[in-house]
Structure 1
Amino acid sequence: MKHMRNRTVTNIYKSFLACALAVIVCMTLAGSAGAHASSAGYSDIKVGADTIQYHLSILESDFVHIFPDKPDGGDKISDKQLSSSIEALTKVVDDGLIVTGDGKIGAGVITAVKHEKRATMEMIGMDIRYKFAAPVKQYLMQYNFFWYSGIDVNHSNYATIQVGGQTIQQVLGSQNYIVQIQGPGAAAGNPSAVAAPAALDAKPAVNMVATSWVSTLKTYVLMGMEHIWSGLDHMLFVLGLLLAAEQRVWKIVRLITAFTIGHCITLVLSSLEVAYLSPKIVEPLIALSILYIAVENIWKRKESARVIVTLLFGLVHGFGFAEVLRGTLSGHMALPLFSFNLGVEIGQLVVVAIVIPLLLWMKRLPVQIKWNQYASGIIGVFGLYWLIERIISQ
């Protein structure tokens, strides 16, 4: 018994000693997987024959970067300061949002600006009205906030567009920031909208019935895939599960299924605003889950509780996944939620499909190296760094 314990301690020591060589790299890469909340704006747009009612919501922490005056509350803008800055904000809106009707630029009139909450997030909301002299056959909207000025090229805007009794959803980014909308009376009540390329010569509008759900499906599936691939912490946790399974198919199925069930539950509940856990709690817990699975892989404890622990940590990761969706669904939740979750699962399966053959190949190498333990040690270094960094940053 004592011999086994000494061997375990030796394995732990060797693993973390090998990881020390990778610490500098870990520290560099770890910064890219910080909190999952990101710069975001939300657009609720109602399209009429000759008017557009545009409600724009931006996180208050982001809004201070485009506010024309210095916030009088440090990093907070008071209601009084907002109401007295409408004229100056009009210039900001004119630069950040260009709306044309049949090629004629519309003048945006801010009718209200106020603090508001969206899915527990503190935001600044502006009501903007565009009025045209005659019924419009084709609208073009170009969203330029944040990335155009270089403030944040990763800023996203989640647009929900109501036109002709139908709803279109688009996610706008620095590479996809123009939306073309056919006026509700332009084609016998058959409106359309499509996110156009990053150029003013937008492609002709296509049938919305085909475009809206296909575009939404594609947009949110890609968003889910990109979210898990760009989230190094989620990727390392999945890698830790694969190492824990020791390339045994049934173990892989059990652990990945438990993780999937866990994050699907909280992703749905959090996105629907039924349950919520602050990123200040979620982010350190995600780091803790990575550290835990790494240490457990090295320590090789009994596996009876591993599935349950994986399920519980899956619940935590689900809150991290949901951060990107909070406030974006605007009552039209089924397809975006399904699509995003599908994207997460596809992204996860791609990781599994790439890593498993690699692990099997490494296992067959003639070199006598305990790959699982050394890899788990490296994962543990990441988890420990993130845990300390995220606790301190709170």
Structure 2
Amino acid sequence: MGCFSAGYGRGLLAAVLLLQAVGAWAHAPGLSSLDVAVNLARLDVRVTFALQDIEAFAPMDSDLDAEVSDSEREAAKPGIARLLAGQLRISVDGADSAPSEPGQVSFDGQNNAHVELKYPAVPERQLLVQSKFLAQLPEGHQQYLTVRDAGGKALAEKMLTKQDDRLSVPVAAPADGRPAASRHTEFDTFGDFFKLGIEHILTGYDHLLFLLALLAVTHGFWPALKIITFFTLAHSLTLALAGLNWVDLPSSFVEPFIAATIIYVGVENLIRGEHPKGRHWLTFGFGLIHGFGFAGVLREMDISSGDTGILLPLVSFNLGIECGQIAVAAIVLPMIWWLNNQVETAERFLKICSIAVSLMGAYWLLERTVL
């Protein structure tokens, strides 16, 4: 009994330390968006960043009381506008252009800052857009750039990074009459968001922990497939609803609720043991909430606008999530099944994992509410 307790304690401690080590990375790297509209007489530019990505460069807490009041947010707007305008390069036909007036800043309910800038020049041959601010942000930050014509049609789209922070758009149409910038745009956009979906699920440890806690009670292929299928159907549904702006839940509710789902599944594993009934329906219900969490990525990039431009990113992003999810499941499920089918390890494995999962969920819940 003493050896069992010692082994049990060491296993639990190792699991908790491992989960705490990855807890700081429960979300994808920073995301932002840059939208350039080529109108008849000017360029209209809209830049969107999460406040936490820019507050180190444009501080808002002027009295240093660890709280940002409405008046402090308003006072910070000119500084935010100057910061982002100064870090954005717009070159029209080879000549750099400057905004014709100070940028207009607004905030939304998702803790994003939107800056609208107007440039007086209109390209006749070439438009170059460079987001120099990416060089100052942490490694892994991605910015979705869209260049549109006066009618709102996308001329070019690209995912910018610190290593590749610019896009050159030829404006003149070639002999075949098709705008040169629009060629292969759909394929490139699909690839960008497919990759983003894979990255998000692989770095979204809260979503993965929830799924693995659900799968920890399985002993074979079909029960696991049922759980994965119900999770996929649920989060795909709410991801689509949120991405199309048909249903919207604030992140202040979604993120703590996701942590609560992790706690619940961990505790249920402890109480109900290896064969809890209705696990697939529980998966579906909680999977709906996780879908809103996935949609937060598209919202951070300010592309959840409900127009036709959202459909391709939405589909490819979701496919990326599914592929990443399947890859992770394919790696861990054989180990779960092997442990669950060993009489001497099955009960201890489930208890250690479930306690660690519940503790990690509690940590995230506190982090997203009290802390």
TM-score (normalised: structure 1): 0.77
- Give 2:278's aligned amino acid: A
Q: Distance in 1 between matches of 2:50 and 2:131?
A: 16
Aligned-partner Cα distance in 1 for 2:227–2:204: 19
- Asked if the contact 1:228/1:344 (under 8 Å) is kept, the reply is yes
Query: In the alignment, which residue of structure 2 is the partner of 1:369?
Result: 345
What code does the residue aligned with 2:148 have? Q
SS state at 1:351 partner: helix
Letter paired with 2:190:
L
Partner Cα separation in structure 2 for residue 319 and residue 161 of structure 1: 27
SS at match of 1:18: helix
Query: Per-residue CA shift, 1:3-42, capped at 9, x if unaligned?
Result: xxxxxxxx999867731344333322212215x6x74433
**Could you list the runs of 5+ residues in structure 1 that have no partner in the other structure?**
1-10, 194-207
Q: Who is 1:259 aligned against?
A: 231
CA distance in 1, matches of 2:281, 2:215: 16
3-state SS in 2 of match to 1:303: coil
2:242–2:295 contact (8 Å) kept in structure 1: yes
| Aligned mates of 2:341, 2:115 — CA distance in 1 | 59
The residue type paired with residue 361 of structure 2 is G
List runs of 5+ in structure 2 lacking aligned partners: none
Equivalent residue letter for 1:322:
A
Q: Distance in 1 between matches of 2:272 and 2:73?
A: 55
Q: Does 1:142 align with 2:130?
A: yes
Matched, 1:42 2:18: no
Matched, 1:343 2:343: no
Give the match for residue 215 of structure 2: 242
Query: In structure 2, how many angstroms separate the alpha carbons of the residues matched to 1:23 and 1:304?
Result: 27
Identical counterparts, % of pairs = 28
AA partner of residue 295 (structure 1): V
| CA 1:233–1:54: 2 relative to 1, 3 Å | same
Per mean C-alpha deviation after superposition, the further-off stretch among 371-380 and 311-320 is 371-380
**1-structure distance, mates of 2:6, 2:277:** 25
Give 1:171's aligned amino acid.
M
Aligned residues: 355
Q: Please say if 1:31 is aligned against 2:62.
A: no
Q: Could you tell me which residue of structure 2 aligns to residue 228 of structure 1?
A: 201
Greater Cα offset, 50-59 or 279-288: 50-59
Cα drift, residue 281 of structure 1: 2.2
**Structure-2 change in CA distance of 1:157 and 1:252 (3 Å):** same
CA shift for structure 1 position 267? 1.0
Matched, 1:174 2:174: no
Structure 1 pair 387–232 and aligned structure 2 pair: CA distance change class (3 A): same
Amino acid at match of 2:12: C
CA distance in 2, matches of 1:221, 1:81: 36
Over residues 200-250 of structure 1, what are the superposed CA-to-partner deviations in whole Å (9 max), with x where a residue is unaligned? xxxxxxxx23x211011111111111101001111111212221222x222
Matched ranges for 1:1-394 at <5 A: 18-33=11-26, 39-47=30-38, 51-60=42-51, 62-67=53-58, 74=68, 76=70, 77=72, 82=77, 85=78, 89-90=81-82, 92-93=83-84, 95-110=86-101, 112-117=103-108, 122-131=112-121, 135-145=123-133, 147-150=134-137, 152-163=138-149, 166-167=153-154, 168-185=156-173, 189-193=177-181, 208-209=182-183, 211-246=184-219, 248-300=220-272, 303-326=276-299, 327-330=302-305, 331=307, 332-362=309-339, 368-370=344-346, 371-393=349-371
What CA deviation, in whole Å up to 9, does each residue of 1:310-347 have, x standing for no partner?
11110111111111011314421111111111111111
Is the contact made by 2:107 and 2:114 (CA closer than 8 Å) also made in structure 1? yes
1:122 CA drift (Å):
4.9
- Aligned-partner Cα distance in 2 for 1:286–1:322: 13
1:112 positional shift: 4.5
Distance 1:391 1:112 in 2: 33
What SS is found at the alignment partner of 1:32?
A: coil
- Aligned-pair distance for 1:287? 1.8
Q: Alpha-carbon deviation of 1:368?
A: 2.8
In structure 2, do the counterparts of structure 1 residues 186 and 64 end up closer, same or farther at CA, with 3 Å as the change threshold?
farther
| Partner-residue secondary structure (3-state), 1:159 | strand
Offset of residue 169 of structure 1 = 3.2
Q: 1:384 to 1:81 in 2, by over 3 A?
A: closer
Q: What TM-score, normalized by structure 2, do the two folds share?
A: 0.81
Closer/same/farther in 2, CA of residues 164 and 385 from structure 1, 3 Å limit: closer
Give the letter aligned to residue 391 of structure 1. Answer: T
Asked if the contact 2:99/2:117 (under 8 Å) is kept, the reply is no
**Cα deviation, residue 369, structure 1:** 1.7
* AA at the equivalent of 1:43: L
CA contact (8 A) 1:164 1:189 kept: no
Shift of 1:52: 3.1
SS of 1:244 mapped into structure 2: coil
Preserved contact between residue 97 and residue 119 of structure 2 (Cα < 8 Å): no
Q: Which whole-Å CA distance do the structure 2 matches of 1:81 and 1:384 have between them?
A: 35
